[in-house]
Structure 1
Amino acid sequence: MTAADEAPARVVIVDDEPGIRRILELTLRRSDRYEVVAQAGNGEEALAAVAEHEPDVVLLDLMLGPEWGVDLIAPILARSPGSLVAILTALSAEREEDAALTAGAFVFYEKTMVVSLIEYLDRDLALFRRALDGHDVLAPSALQRRGTPGAPFDSGERV
């Protein structure tokens, strides 16, 4: 089966701002590789959507009103261990990324990069699937954002 024959990756968008959810949905619609199967505005809705759909990708905002997205990562993964959790936030990566990745997120995207979201998701989802198959990988979006000299951006292999 070729990449063109694959079913679109199922995505759940979790953000407390309806406008942001709509922008993300429209962005993902530009590609036939992603299908938004649910949207959630809070933790309870997010956990229900993840349990129902077991998505390939969960785009999770860090600040969901009074809730903290990092606290949702473990329950999301308990309901759908095969889901790539991608944090998408307006907060600074330097301050928040370590906590999100330690909690189980695979990648951390700043909302300023939403115009490149499909490109990043394509690369990171392919690597996530390799990780599920037992390969040792590191998401290239994290390497690129850090400006790691000589980072293996295209392959994602750890060196």
Structure 2
Amino acid sequence: MPSRYAPLRAAAGELLLADLLTDRALRDLHARLYENVWTWAGLYRQRELSIGIDPVMIAVELRSTLENLLYRWEHTSDWTAKQLAMATHAEAVRIHPFVDGNGRSTRLLADLVLLAATPDDEPAVVLDWDLDKSLYIPALRRFDQARDPSELTDLVDLVAVEED
């Protein structure tokens, strides 16, 4: 199980974007979240589902997508940290690498990306995932078409990270 202080570690600069935006990081996160639930935790799905990409393409697509997001973040300035986090989540959901547990693991990854991408002089925040699914699901589909995280970013509020 991941440390319950992982968001604080990301906010403290201990988790770097280059470490988070990797296929290994997402597999690791999924494995840690579900290792006590499923024997296949952290393993890519091997069968077709009604959502997601062809299982044969998961590893390559996830790796290249996350590398592209990191490259864009490092070489452009048109996205906010929140937009990067939402794009990370939406891309991972689009790929749908696992049989189950994709939503929870990709939402956690997005929160960690947000914390790692937020400048040190700004307060630590995470995404408020308590949102209207009737608006969220169509916005995810529109992201798939345009690759623009703006609509998703507008739907999801931020909440402050509180230390225990």
TM-score (norm 2): 0.28
Q: TM-score normalized by structure 1?
A: 0.29
Greater RCO, CA 8 A, separation 6+: 2
Judging by fraction of residues, say which structure has more helix: 2
Specify which structure has the higher proportion of strand.
Answer: 1
